[in-house]
Amino acid sequence: MQAIRRQMDQMRASGVLGQLLRFGIAGGLSSVIYSLVYLPLTKFVFPPQQAVAAVPFAFAVAVTAGYFLHSRWSFKGHAAEPGGAKHVKFVLVQGTGLALNALITWVGTAFLHLHPWVPLVPAVFLAAIVTFVLNRFWVFS
């Protein structure tokens, strides 16, 4: 228990804890935006086995909102690099998140025949972890 408390104190002192909380809130908002685009597309446009086709559309909208939330709030003042390189890195990281989302959605809907909302939870969760680490240590370092 003492080790956990020490780790939390170190994270708080370094600013990582606050950054992680802000990232979680901004990511949560981005996930809601993603879901608000993805779910109607899977219900009205794409058949359930092709739900993966909705992923790029939903991701594009969510990433646009996410960039502004993360660059202006989650990682505000954290980036040392000029805007152009940072933007390219951010897009590459989000592409990784898109690939994870698409893969999990494809496996869940095309192979496991799950309802399109079922793979949404693990896809968003896994992408959040991966993109936080990449954003923290590469994009906004």
In whole angstroms, give the CA distance from residue 100 to residue 69: 21
CA 105 from centre of chain: 14
49-65 tens-digit pLDDT: 899 999 999 989 998 89
Q: How confident is the model at residue 24 (pLDDT cuts 50, 70, 90)?
A: confident
Residue 29 neighbours by CB under 8 Å, 6+ apart: 65, 69
In whole angstroms, give the CA distance from residue 9 to residue 87: 32
105-128 tens-digit pLDDT: 999 999 999 999 999 889 988 988
From the list 6, 39, 28, 50, the residue with the least C-alpha distance to 125 is: 28
Mean per-residue pLDDT over the chain, rounded: 85
- Examine the pLDDT at 11 and tell me if it is beyond 70: no
What are the C-alpha distances in Å from 82 to residues 76, 85, 86, 88, 94?
13, 6, 7, 11, 19
> Which amino acid makes up residue 124?
V
